[in-house]
Structure 1
Amino acid sequence: MKQFKMNNFINIIIIWIILSIDLISKFFIFKYLHLYKSYYINSYLNLYYINNYGIILGMFCNHKYNLIILFINILVLILFYYINIRKKSINFINSLIIAGSLGNFINRVINGFVIDFIDVHIGNLHYPIFNLADISIFIGIIFLIIKYMLYRT
C-alpha cells in the first residue's frame, strides 16, 4: 500500500509539472505573440499562434459546450481507470494523458478555445499546429499502444 501511495504521489507530481509547463507556455504565447503570425525557429519549426475552437484539425469548432462536456466525461473515465490500475507503468502513461487533457481542458474553459502554437514542417508540408498538452497526450497514447501490444504477445 505504501508503494501504491508513493507511485500516486510521483504521478501527481508528473501531472503537475507537465500541466504547469503547458499552461505557462500558453500564457506566454497568448501574451507575447501575435495571432496568426509566424515566428521562425529553424527550417522545420516555427511558432505560429492560433486559437483552436475545435478539436483535432479544428473539427467541431461550433460545439464549445458539447466539447467541454465530452472532455469532462473523458477525464472522468481516465481518472476512474487510473485509480483502479495498480501497475506503475500504466499509471505513468495515464499521467501523460491526464496532464495533457487537463491542460487543454483548462485552456478551453478559461478562454473558450485552446491555444496552439507549435508548427512543424518539412518544406511546404505542414503538420497541423499543436501545443505541449497535445504532445503529452500523443506520447501517452503511443506508450499505451506499445504497452498493450507487448502485453498481448
Structure 2
Amino acid sequence: MDYLKPQKWQQSGIVWLWVALLVIALDQVTKDWVLETYQLYQVEAVWPIFNLTYVRNYGAAFSFLHDAGGWQRWLFTSLAVGVSLLLSYWLRNQPRALWRVNLCYVLIIGGAIGNLVDRLQHGFVVDFLDFYWGSYHFPAFNVADIAISCGAALLILEAFYPQKLSGYPTKDDAEG
C-alpha cells in the first residue's frame, strides 16, 4: 500500500503520538500519587465495588508470570520496546486521517511505555485500581493497562469496521 504512504511525517499517523505522551503522563502522575499516598497493600474503599489498593505487579496483565523469578521483567521490557517501535513504524507509514487506527496504536504505545517506565524504575508495575463483586476481585490495574486494553479492543473493532479514507487514491487509481 505504498500509494497511501505519506511523504512527510506531518501527514502521517505519527502526529497522534501526543496522545501516547498524555497517557504516559497521566499514568505516571497517578502512580506517583499512589506511591506517595499508600502503603503496600493498603486498601481504601471508594465505592461498594471499587477500592484503591496499592499492589506491585512483577508480571504482565493479570499478574501473568509474576512469580517467574525475575527474567520476566526483561521479557516484558523487550516486548514493550518492540511493540512500541513496530506501532510507531506503522504510524509513520499511514495517513494521519486514519485517526481511528492511529488512536488504537498510540493508546497501546502510551500504555506500554507507561508500564515500561515502572519496570525500569522499580522492577515492578504499580497497580491500584481494584474492582470487585462480593469476594471476587478483578486483578488490580492502572491507567496504562486501561490504555492498552482500550487500544486493543478498538483495534479489534477497527478490523471489523475499517475506516474509509475519502479523497485518498485507491489501489486502482495508483495502478491506472
**Does TM, scored on the shorter chain, surpass 0.5?**
yes
1:65 alignment counterpart: 74
Q: Which of these residues, 82, 85, 107, is aligned with residue 76 of structure 1?
A: 85
Structure 2 portions without partners, runs of 5+: 1-5, 163-176
Moved over 3 A (4+): 1-4, 6-9
- Return the TM-score normalized by structure 2: 0.78
Q: TM-score, normalised by structure 1?
A: 0.89
Larger Rg: 1 or 2? 2
Q: Which amino acid aligns with 1:65?
A: W
User: 2: CA distance between counterparts of 1:19 and 1:29?
Assistant: 15
Partner residue, 1:132: 143
Which of 50, 63, 74 does residue 45 from structure 1 map onto?
50
Alpha-carbon shift at residue 4 of structure 1 (Å): 6.4
- TM-aligned CA deviation for residue 3 of structure 1: 9.4
3-state SS, counterpart of residue 41 of structure 1: strand
What residue identity is the alignment partner of 1:35?
Answer: L
Q: Is the 8 A contact 2:9 2:92 kept in 1?
A: no
Where does residue 103 of structure 1 map in the other structure? Answer: 114
Q: How many residues align?
A: 150
Q: 1:12 to 1:74 in 2, by over 3 A?
A: closer
**Aligned-pair CA distance for 1:105:** 0.7
Partner Cα separation in structure 2 for residue 141 and residue 147 of structure 1: 10
How large is the RMSD of aligned CA atoms in angstroms?
A: 1.9
Which digits, 9 at most, give the CA deviation of each residue in 1:50-109, with x for residues without a partner?
111111222223222222222222222222222222222211111111111110011111
Aligned residues with identical type, % of pairs: 26
Moved more, 129-138 or 57-66: 57-66
Q: Which amino acid aligns with 2:25?
A: S
Q: Do the aligned partners of residues 142 and 33 (structure 1) sit closer, same or farther apart at CA in structure 2, a change above 3 Å counting?
A: same
